[in-house]
Amino acid sequence: MKNKQIEKAILNLISDPYDKDNCFYGHIIAQCEIHIDDTFDGIAGVGYWNDMFQLYINPDLFTIFTLKEQKAILIHEAMHIIFNHISRQSDKVHLQWNIATDAAINQFIDNLPEGSIYPETLGKEKDKYAEYYYEYIDINIIKRCCKSKISTNTCCSGKLQDDEIYSNIDSHTLWDKSSNDKNDNFSKQACQSMIDKAIEKSIGNIPTPVQKALKLLNKDSQVPWQKILKRIMGNSKKYFEPSYKKVNRRFPNRIDLPGKKAIFIPTLVCIVDVSGSMSNKEILKGIIEIQQICKLTNHKLVVIQVDTEVQDITTTDFKNHKFTRNGCGGTELYPAVDYINKNKIDNDILVFITDGHFGFYSWLKMPKVPMLFLITDKNCKINLPTKRSYQFVLE
Ligand SMILES: [Zn+2]
């Protein structure tokens, strides 16, 4: 490394006498392959290839900032690595994911340059993962985040660029270059081993945000269950709905006639375990997830409450519906499945909300449709009964 100022910032991070957490992040940065590149389009940025995390720094832009801000920018990069934001991007909309990831990590970093994005900027609460902010960013906020870049960075471009460019403290453009299925697994492993080394070097001190990141890394699946659901939904039945946004194919000049919009609607049946071992809080956690599905499908679903027998059946889109718990007995989920079979309730996907304290031995007829088990007890793991079943721990 040739640039003295950048070197100083990294060393200062590693041996920060005032903040042990900084030491940890410094050791993450030190394990990257560092490229000082004055043609790099951004202050800094990380990527993953050649089995290594790559850190790019544009010296001309980086050295404009004070030492405190430089350290904050480096921590920002370290956190993108630790939280595995590169591979978690997968098929998300980049612009939205860029803003969401920045909001997710900036809340833990002091001394960031002015104009950085925080959960407050998005009108959202703190302490959530990037996926959460991603789901809830609305278009106006995206526009605002992008515009703030334009007004502060006009000096670089000379004129206004189009609205869809977001680059705040750093550039996330290297993420696209990094991401592919093969890399994703390796980057996860590389990230884990980097964290292990940094823990060792900073004598066991693990900053709180890193503890969260570790939890995420160690989760059974990095794939959010909504993604699986979306994939299954793609294969479900299709029907057409009139839409004025689409041109009418038979009469393309008649703007007064609606066109057709294809919609995929799977029939979703949600089975809620209301046995005594499920606390109301656990049930609520699951219901919040189900509300998200309704938002996703914009369609009603069937909710069945079950303990040792079916306690309640409701068809709802949760818009004007409050969930009321019925039942508090032993844990059995099969009565709900049995009920669906006997009453021939249409179903393409079964979603179970349960603490996982049940067995499949009583399941006489195994459903053939995909089953998603959303587990509320993080210490519980179930033995999945079919190839088309999945389990996810609700955080
Ligand atoms: Zn960033």
Mean pLDDT per 10-residue run, the chain (395 residues)? 88 87 94 94 91 93 94 96 87 85 94 90 88 81 65 38 62 81 70 86 81 69 62 60 72 76 73 89 82 71 90 81 77 92 90 90 90 88 83 81
Residues 190 and 274 in one domain: no
How many angstroms separate the alpha carbon of residue 109 from the centre of ligand 1?
12
Alpha-carbon distance 84 to 221, whole Å?
13
Residues 156 and 187 in one domain: yes
How many angstroms separate the alpha carbon of residue 87 from the centre of ligand 1?
14
How many angstroms separate the alpha carbon of residue 291 from the centre of ligand 1?
30
Q: Any alpha helices (H) in 202-297, and if so which ranges?
A: 208-217, 225-234, 280-297
Q: Are 52 and 29 in contact, with CB atoms under 8 Å apart?
A: no
Domain assignment present for 284: yes
Alpha-carbon distance 105 to 205, whole Å?
19
Domain assignment present for 258: no
* pLDDT at site 1: 62
Residues 160 and 30 in one domain: yes
Residues 232 and 185 in one domain: no
* pLDDT at site 20: 83
How many angstroms separate the alpha carbon of residue 323 from the centre of ligand 1?
39
Domain assignment present for 251: no
- Report the domain count for the chain: 2
How many angstroms separate the alpha carbon of residue 350 from the centre of ligand 1?
37
Domain final residue pick, 218, 249, 281: 218
Contacting residues for 33 by C-beta, under 8 A, at least 6 apart: 50, 52, 53, 54, 55
Among 392, 394, 388, CA closest to 370: 388
How many angstroms separate the alpha carbon of residue 112 from the centre of ligand 1?
11
Structure tokens at 350: 């079964």
Alpha-carbon distance 351 to 297, whole Å?
14
Q: What CATH number should be reported for the domain holding residue 361?
A: 3.40.50.410
How many angstroms separate the alpha carbon of residue 176 from the centre of ligand 1?
14
Domain assignment present for 184: yes
Q: Any alpha helices (H) in 181-279, and if so which ranges?
A: 181-201, 208-217, 225-234
Residues 282 and 178 in one domain: no
Q: Are 264 and 236 in contact, with CB atoms under 8 Å apart?
A: yes
Residues 190 and 230 in one domain: no
Range(s) of the domain holding residue 323: 226-237+265-393
Residues 28 and 118 in one domain: yes
Alpha-carbon distance 306 to 369, whole Å?
19
Domain assignment present for 80: yes
Contacting residues for 289 by C-beta, under 8 A, at least 6 apart: 225, 353, 374, 394
Residues 193 and 231 in one domain: no
* pLDDT at site 234: 62
How many angstroms separate the alpha carbon of residue 76 from the centre of ligand 1?
6
Domain assignment present for 153: yes
Contacting residues for 288 by C-beta, under 8 A, at least 6 apart: none
The H or E element containing residue 85 is helix 85-88
Phi, psi of 313 (to 5 degrees): -130, 125
Alpha-carbon distance 166 to 99, whole Å?
8
Contacting residues for 332 by C-beta, under 8 A, at least 6 apart: 275, 306, 307, 308, 309, 358, 362
Domain assignment present for 249: no
Q: Any alpha helices (H) in the chain, and if so which ranges?
A: 4-14, 20-30, 59-62, 67-82, 85-88, 94-106, 130-136, 139-157, 174-178, 181-201, 208-217, 225-234, 280-297, 334-342
Beta carbons within 10 angstroms of residue 372's beta carbon: 23
Alpha-carbon distance 214 to 82, whole Å?
8
Among 107, 105, 116, 108, CA closest to 81: 105
Residues 275 and 147 in one domain: no
How many angstroms separate the alpha carbon of residue 191 from the centre of ligand 1?
17
How many angstroms separate the alpha carbon of residue 168 from the centre of ligand 1?
7
- H, E, C per residue of 306-328: ECCCEEEEEEECCCCCCCCCCCC
How many angstroms separate the alpha carbon of residue 80 from the centre of ligand 1?
7
Residues 76 and 11 in one domain: yes
* pLDDT at site 118: 92
How many angstroms separate the alpha carbon of residue 169 from the centre of ligand 1?
6
Among 65, 264, 48, 62, CA closest to 177: 48
Domain final residue pick, 218, 252, 287: 218
Q: Are 290 and 304 in contact, with CB atoms under 8 Å apart?
A: no
> What is the distance of C-alpha 93 from the center of its chain?
12
Among 370, 373, 368, CA closest to 356: 373
How many angstroms separate the alpha carbon of residue 119 from the centre of ligand 1?
14
How many angstroms separate the alpha carbon of residue 56 from the centre of ligand 1?
12
Beta carbons within 10 angstroms of residue 346's beta carbon: 10
How many angstroms separate the alpha carbon of residue 45 from the centre of ligand 1?
7
Domain assignment present for 104: yes
Residues 186 and 55 in one domain: yes
Residues 205 and 231 in one domain: no
The residues placing their C-beta within 5 Å of ligand 1, an ion, are 102, 170
